[in-house]
Amino acid sequence: MARTIFLILLLLNLAGLAWMITMGAAKDKAGREPQRNATQMLPDKIRIVPVPDETALSATSAAVPVAPPSEICLAYTGAAVSDAQLIVKMLSEKLPAVHAIATAMVPASRFDMVIPGLASRQAAEVKLAELKKLGVDQGVGISTDDPKGYALLIASFAERALADDALKVMAKKGVRSAAIVERKPVPEKSTIEIRGSESAMKSLPQQLAAYKSLVSTACAAP
């Protein structure tokens, strides 16, 4: 009987020891990998992230816009009107990558007070004598710049308003035949604007070397 009780107690002790060893191992594992255990307990929190497609990455990189080359603009002055047209034509043929345009430099108009339509020099001298009697003789001269032959040039003005005021003064003095004539000078020089990339403009000095009168500056800001 005592032997039986001893065996039962021995078996109970062994079972208790096995249970304690199993629980201790479980606790120790949970302490070392808590995040893994938590993840195993919450499988709905697991996400599968796809690997990026290399083709899509390449297409995205290729779509990045490339900045165009910076443009240079030079303004050349000192060219005669006829030469400027030849230069523009020459550049369009030899340097098609650049854009050149010529603009005539038109001097400002002047406004002359004249007595026009005098048929001869003798008629002009008679009219000049009449003006002197009216007290208008300072700076008056005989001009041949008239469609009918001769004219008396009384004065010149840079602005039309000044010329009109002076004409009213002449009318008060009794000079009724005077008139204002606008003189538009013929342009003699041109400005050439040339635009292009740095590489396209590289040979520009060589192409324009024959035109010694040209002077280059940076184009005015638009």
- Quick one: which H or E segment has residue 141? strand 141-143
3-state secondary structure 79-132: EEHHHHHHHHHHHHHHCCCCEEEEEEECCCCEEEEEEEEECCHHHHHHHHHHHH
| Cβ neighbours, 10 Å, residue 196 | 21
| Cβ neighbours, 10 Å, residue 69 | 11
How far apart, in whole angstroms, are the C-alpha atoms of residue 122 and residue 59? 90
pLDDT tens for the chain, 222 residues long, are 666 776 677 677 777 666 777 765 555 555 555 555 554 555 555 566 565 566 655 555 555 666 666 889 999 998 888 899 999 999 999 999 999 999 887 788 999 999 999 989 999 999 989 888 888 877 788 888 788 889 999 999 999 999 999 999 999 989 889 999 998 887 778 899 999 998 999 999 999 999 888 998 999 876
How far apart, in whole angstroms, are the C-alpha atoms of residue 116 and residue 124? 9
Closest CA to 199 of 68, 8, 105, 19: 68
